[in-house]
Amino acid sequence: MGHQALAAEIRREARRLGFDPVGIAAVPAGDRLRLRSAALERWLAAGHQADMAWMNDPRRRDVTQLLEGVRSLVAVGLNYHVQAERSPGSLKVARYGWGRDYHRVIEGRLRALGRWLESRVPGVRWRACVDSAPLLDKAWAEEAGLGWIGKHGNLIHRSQGSWLLLGHLLTDLELPADAPAAPACGACSACLDACPTGAIVEPFVVDARRCIAFHTIENRAETLPATIAGALQGWVAGCDICQDVCPWNRKPLPSSSDPDLQPRPWWLNLQAAEALGWSDADWDEKLRASALRRIKPAMWRRNIAAAAAEAAPES
């Protein structure tokens, strides 16, 4: 089988597994990927990673350290936009956390794709990667033509917006590559203007030290910084503000019917008074198979108490 025909089959199988869009990038990559790697170095040097030391993993700059002999990456997107609304007055949880843990979902499907590829090309080597792997996932997705990296740092697809979870299948097969996506943010600054903490310090640069998502998910301190606690706007697990205001997300978008991505009902009606009374065991039960299990019970209480205090009317 020729490489073009195999690439077409890989795309069909990936879509059968629920991925869309699907693209292919070649290794080594072009100039854009090198520019993205240089941008990562500047971001790290400025301290924008806060406590996320894993962002400095040297493998993130060199994909060949993740799979010896890698020649291609199959980049996939999983649409997590669901036509569901939160109850009025409920606390806010980022959309990516509404369904099952996307790391498990994407990795499981990518492994199925890898096993399928083995059946077509015996002896092929591959590795499945989600965003927990030290890979420049958005940059490689951009290189594979899935979309462009927006000014808020998220990948944007022309018809699906930025509500995409990303995964990559690395392989030692040499496959025909897709053209990188062309950027289309133009002069828009909606995401920069909307961020209540000024975390998008300049286009394409997010300072985690100012980011609500970082502090509600990664910050292990007993209390949130005052500048964050006073600007939560109800967000207690992640933050979607910069995506909610993006013009590419404000047009009609496809709604996922994937059962793994449907929201648990309580995410849409999270009430502070009730949740502050939940025990550690309650949180353990509610967060099973959730990407938001990373937030420990004490952190949930901290975040919820801060959001409730911010919303309380002044006496």
* Lowest-confidence pick of 37-41, 57-61, 190-194, 296-300: 57-61
Catalytic residues: 131
Condensed to tens digits (0 to 9), the pLDDT of residues 150-199 reads 999 999 999 999 999 999 999 999 999 999 999 999 999 999 999 999 99
Query: Is the confidence at residue 3, as pLDDT, over 90?
Result: no
Mean pLDDT computed over 258-263: 97
Position 308 pLDDT exceeds 80: yes
pLDDT, one tens digit per residue, over 199-252 is: 999 999 999 999 999 999 999 999 999 999 999 999 999 999 999 999 999 989
pLDDT tens digits, one per residue of 24-37: 999 999 899 999 99
- pLDDT of residue 313 exceeding 70, the answer is yes
Give the DSSP letter of residue 201. Answer: E
pLDDT of residue 249: 97
Provide the β-strand partners of residue 166. 77
HEC letters along 224-290: CCHHHHCCCCCEEECCCHHHHCCHHHCCCCCCCCCHHHCCCHHHHHCCHHHHCCCCHHHHHHHCCCC
Query: Which one-letter amino acid corresponds to residue 184?
Result: A
Mean pLDDT score, 43-65 = 92
Report the pLDDT value the prediction gives residue 312, as an integer from 0 to 100.
77
Instruction: Give the three-class secondary structure for 118.
Output: helix
What pLDDT does residue 54 have?
87
Mean pLDDT of the chain: 96
Is residue 1 a contact partner of residue 173, using CB atoms and an 8 Å limit?
Answer: no
Query: What's the confidence (pLDDT) of residue 314?
Result: 61
Average pLDDT over residues 87-91: 94
Q: What is the 3-state secondary structure (H, E, C) of 120-172?
A: HCCCCCEEEECCCCCCCHHHHHHHCCCCEECCCCCEEECCCECCEEEEEEEEC
